[in-house]
Amino acid sequence: MSEPLVEVELVRVRVPLRQPLRSAHGEEAVRDLVLVRAGLADGTSGWGECSALARPTYTGEHTAGAWAVLLEELVPAALEGRDAGVVGHPMATAALATARLDAALRGRGRRLVEHLGAAHGRPRERVAVTAVVGRAEAIDDLLALVAEHVAAGVALVKLKVTPHPADLAAVAAVRAAWPDLPLAVDGNGSLDNRSLSILAESDLAYVEQPAPAEDLLTSAAMAKRVGVPIALDESITSLGALETALTVGAGSIVNLKPGRVGGLDVAADLARTAFDAGCGVFVGGMLETGVGRAAAAALAALPACTLPTDLGPSSRYVEHELTEEVEVDADGHLLVPAGPGIGVTPIPERLDAVAVDRSLRCR
């Protein structure tokens, strides 16, 4: 689906979060990101979202850099109908690719989830949800937040952690308060053997990204050391990275984020590969707006994605979503948007309220 583009608009937004998310990477209180609108000759437009963070602390990409590479390289090439020849920058690439795909699907009246399901099996219409909880300054605050998520019907709670004693104590406190709660932790590459061993005592569903992204051998050694499944996030950047991780035994669960691997179709292929290799698979979140969350929800609905998604309802993240709300049902399951394409569209006045920069390029 590569209909010629007649215009591409970039919109940089800064969206305040309901509450900051603290992790080993730092703190996110305002989501600074780039939205992409791709326009076709018939007037149809589609939207994509660049999931890079404001600073290059998660991957090497960051918002300002993504804006520059889109503006100077990817958008001109797309309008001219040529390959940009850009190395790296998968999140920027994925944003433009998603916008193009969304436009093409809207023009055909076809849903994104149907497009992905055609090649990868019949998708679900709702997906079980994980609540991702950031590092807390006080255990009482953390317990109160976890209680809210449990009451909302989440399938699993995942705590952001580091080796700091306060984080280790927080995990133990949550486990003590909810002995039967499915519980996981995410170290974002910060854990060592000692902290991993202590965390493993809390009967965890999995430990996500204990070692740095590129250190698959350490992750493999950790997987052998503790009797807890290891999930890989930052390490999975491509098919080659996935195959290497599987070969060395670095993990048995894969967290897929479409931006990190270059787009939705690539992510769907990786999900199927991981599933066929016997891995558990889930779709992670990047504190997206409704644009990115709706697109990722379609990926999370595929049969290969067997574990609860990190994606949540709009109300978990922001006071006012930029698009129609991405919602959960009465049982706490995330609903895949029902409209054509990604199923949601930015509401102009809400977009205007948070936009800090714009660029429109035409063919």
> What residue type is 185 in one-letter code?
V
Q: 3-state DSSP helix/strand/coil percent for the chain, to nearest 5?
A: 40, 25, 40
The DSSP bridge partners found for residue 230 are 207
Catalytic site residue from 149, 257, 293, 350: 257
- Could you give the CA distance from residue 133 to residue 144 in angstroms, rounded to a whole number? 11
Task: Indicate if 160 belongs to the active site.
Answer: yes
Output the CA–CA distances (angstroms, integers) from residue 293 to 17, 91, 102, 276, 299, in the order listed. 15, 14, 14, 25, 10
287, 19 Cβ separation under 8 angstroms? no
Catalytic site residue from 22, 160, 293, 316: 160
How far, in whole angstroms, is CA 266 from its chain's centroid?
14
106, 40 Cβ separation under 8 angstroms? no
Output the CA–CA distances (angstroms, integers) from residue 238 to 98, 210, 242, 245, 335, in the order listed. 17, 19, 6, 11, 28
Burial of 204 from C-beta contacts in 10 A (0-12 / 13-18 / 19+): buried
| Active site amino acids | 160, 257
